[in-house]
Amino acid sequence: MKNIIVGLDIGTTKIACFIGRPGSKPGKAQIIGFGKTDSVGVEHGIVINIMQTADSIRKAVRQASEQAGYEVKEVYVGIAGQHIKSMQSQGTTVIPSDHTLITQEDVDRIREEQNRIMMGPGEEIIHIIPQSYIVDNEVLSSEISPVGVAGKCLKANFHIITGNTININNIRLSIEEAGLKVKGVVLEPIASALATLDSRDKNAGVALVDIGGGTTDIAVFSDSNIRHTSVLPMAGNSITEDIRKGCNILKGQAESLKTKFGSCLPSNTNEDEVISIPGIRNQPPREISRKTLAGIIHGRVQLILEQIEYELQLSGCKDELHAPITLTGGGSKMQHLTELCSFITGMDCRIGTPDEHLEEVTPDPNSNLRSPKLSEISDPMYSTCIGLLLYGLEHSNIEEDGAIEIKTKEEENVTDTKNTAPNIDSNDIFSDLTNMEQTNPRPKEEPIAPTTPAPTKEPHKEKGKGSKDGNKGGFGDAVSKYFAKLFMENTDSDD
């Protein structure tokens, strides 16, 4: 089906799939299908077991397909992990003398040259993102395109993102094993930024921090351009593991403690509040105060935020960030996280939700399908997947088929009288053919006469073929006599 885009987020703790289409307004999207399942075979954002990951992908995609009424064919998938690296690069090209103005061909040429830069072994380029253009030593502002500018020398600064080839191929293999095609691979913090930021944030300068299950992804924007990207190997699962070890409980119990009672600030919790944890195999329950739990969480979250602060300093443009730090991802829902983040970074912080570029879908009264409500999907944990869908709407040719509409049996049985032939009884067809043979039989083929004529038998007389009660001869008889006469004349001349 045309205009359908699918985003697939292969995370450490979950795999999510969103099916969407362009909204009624420019820059808006409508979500018509959603599916989520536990992630199996993925660690720290890297696909380890291809078969297990493929099974999880199939489950999530099937849920989304059934809700949307479309069979998914190809997806935009996110990528993260500690193997992700970024670098700055500059390219230069001389404008041909026959080009009065810089053309799109010139811009594409300087960009394609970046594919030949030296990289480490086993790495490949994921994104080549232009940051600024310089024409004859004059820097163009971000609002001005180099296409159409008069000049003889074009320079460009690029932000290049690379990843490990094996890890990228594992993502592709798991998706292909699930019976799908990869339409595009997108760095996850770039996708999350599309879902939670707008042009004002990027123009003012903003840091996007996506705290997931296995990784914390960072993207820094300044003057509407991306300036720095990074992936940290610490996130929500690290906090859960600390709670499990500190309280000597099961992993599932530790996750429940974190999500239901966790806080990043021990000073804001009451020491008298005690949480009872069920024991294993009839053992007595364990008890832990919320203040102690907050102390365990605080230690790990502070370490993550200090690493984020270091990455902001490393970007070289922290002083240019005037919009609040945007925290998103499942780990951003931790209580008092924004307060602790502001204390460590010295900047304002907010929680980003992925509903800024979405619009509600109007229900179709003639359909049994019901699209998800915005309240159901406006959760920070879905920022990456919705951002992948928005990336697809922005960069793909939406005239291509991204999914096939699933028709019910009733719809398949309905025939279009304008486009289909009328029903004809097969018995009537054969009776018509029989009548045609009886009234206008096909003449029998006669052999061509040989060079030396041999006596031939008189042809079988039928009604309509030279018989007494028919015509004098059929067309076949005339052809046979003509060729026989012709061969006789040739034989006489040879003699």
Which has the closest alpha carbon to 198: 333, 355, 80, 342? 355
Q: Residues 346, 473: one domain?
A: no
- Cβ distance 406 to 65 under 8 Å? yes
Asked whether the predicted pLDDT for residue 432 surpasses 80, the reply is: no
Amino acid at 220: V
Q: Report d(CA 328, CA 381) in Å as an integer.
A: 7
pLDDT tens profile 29-80: 999 999 999 999 999 889 999 999 999 999 999 999 999 999 999 999 999 9
Q: How far is CA 260 from the centre of its chain?
A: 33
Residues 224 and 338 in one domain: yes
Kindly state whether residue 487 falls inside one of the protein's structural domains. Answer: yes
Give me the residues paired with residue 206 across strands.
Answer: 221
Instruction: Tell me which range, 116-125, 161-170, 457-466, is most confidently predicted by mean pLDDT.
Output: 161-170
Q: How far apart are CA 182 and CA 372, in angstroms?
A: 25
Residue 194 lies in a domain: no
Q: Is residue 256 in some structural domain?
A: yes
The predicted-structure confidence for 280-319, as pLDDT tens digits, reads as follows 877 888 888 999 999 999 999 999 999 999 999 999 989 9
425-433: average pLDDT: 39
One-letter amino acid identity for 131? Q
Give the end of a domain, one of 297, 321, 351. Answer: 351
| pLDDT bucket at 403, cuts 50 / 70 / 90 | low
Residues 208 and 142 in one domain: no
What percent of the chain clears pLDDT 70, i.e. is strictly above it?
A: 80
The CA-CA-CA angle for residues 430, 436, 438, to 5°, reads 105
Residue bearing tokens 């903003």: 206
pLDDT digits (tens, 9 = 90+) for 91-103: 999 999 888 899 9
Q: Is the pLDDT of residue 427 over 60?
A: no
CATH of the domain at 148: 3.30.1490.110
Residue 170 has what pLDDT?
Answer: 96
Cβ neighbourhood burial of 184 (10 Å; 0-12, 13-18, 19+): middle
With contact defined as beta carbons under 8 Å apart, do 131 and 108 qualify? no
Residues 335 and 450 in one domain: no
Please name which of 233, 186, 243, 244 lies closest in space to residue 211, comparing C-alpha atoms.
233
pLDDT at 284: 86
Q: Are residues 212 and 337 in the same domain?
A: yes
Secondary element (H or E) of residue 50? helix 50-68
Residue 470: predicted pLDDT: 44
pLDDT of residue 98: 87
Q: Which of 18-22, 274-278, 487-491 has the highest mean pLDDT?
A: 18-22
CA distance 273 to 261: 10
Under the banding of pLDDT at 50, 70 and 90, the label for residue 487 is low
104 and 226 share a domain?
A: no
Question: What residues contact residue 442 under an 8 Å CB cut-off, 6+ apart?
Answer: none
User: CATH code at 287?
Assistant: 3.30.420.40
Specify whether the CB–CB gap between 186 and 195 falls below 8 A: no
Considering the domain boundaries, does residue 345 fall inside one? yes
- In a domain? residue 63: no
Q: Mean per-residue pLDDT for 318-346? A: 95
Residues 280 and 345 in one domain: yes
Q: Are residues 217 and 338 in the same domain?
A: yes
Q: Does the pLDDT of residue 416 top 70, yes or no?
A: no
205-255: pLDDT as tens digits = 999 999 999 999 999 999 888 999 999 999 999 999 999 999 889 999 999
What distance in Å separates the CA atoms of residue 323 and residue 342, rounded to the nearest whole number?
13
Q: What is the per-residue pLDDT for 165? A: 95
Residues 4 and 68: their CA atoms lie apart, in Å, by 10
Same domain? 451 vs 341: no
Handedness of CA 192, 194, 199, 205 (dihedral sign): positive
Same domain for 206 and 106:
no
Coil, strand or helix at 122: coil
Helix, strand, coil abundance in the chain, percent, nearest 5: 40, 25, 35
Q: Would you state the pLDDT for residue 27?
A: 83
Residue 408 lies in a domain: no
**Is 462 within a domain?**
yes
Q: Give the Cα separation of 195 and 464 in Å (integer).
A: 83
| 14: pLDDT strictly greater than 90 | yes
The per-residue pLDDT of the chain, averaged, comes to 83
Residue 486 binned pLDDT confidence (cut-offs 50, 70, 90) = low
**What is the structure's pLDDT at 328?**
96
- The domain tally of the chain equals 3
For residues 219 and 336, state if they share a domain: yes
Q: What is the pLDDT of residue 75?
A: 96
| pLDDT at residue 406, as a whole number | 59
Instruction: Give DSSP secondary structure letters for 293-330.
Output: HHHHHHHHHHHHHHHHHHHHHHHT-GGG--SPEEEESG
DSSP annotation string for 221-241:
EETTEEEEEEEES-SHHHHHH
Q: Which of 320, 351, 382 is the last residue of a domain?
A: 351
Average pLDDT over residues 179-201: 95
Asked if residues 61 and 17 have their Cβ atoms less than 8 Å apart, the reply is: yes
3-state secondary structure of 287: strand
Categorise residue 137: left if φ over 0, alpha if ψ from -120 to 50, beta otherwise. left
What is the reported pLDDT for 26? Answer: 85
Last residue of a domain, one of 143, 160, 177: 160
Q: Which residue has the tokens 């811009």?
A: 107
Which tokens sit at 321?
A: 């960030």
Flag whether 481 is in a domain. Answer: yes
* Whether residue 206 sits in one domain with residue 153: no
Specify the pTM: 0.77
DSSP-assigned letter for residue 440: S
Domain residue limits at 140:
85-160
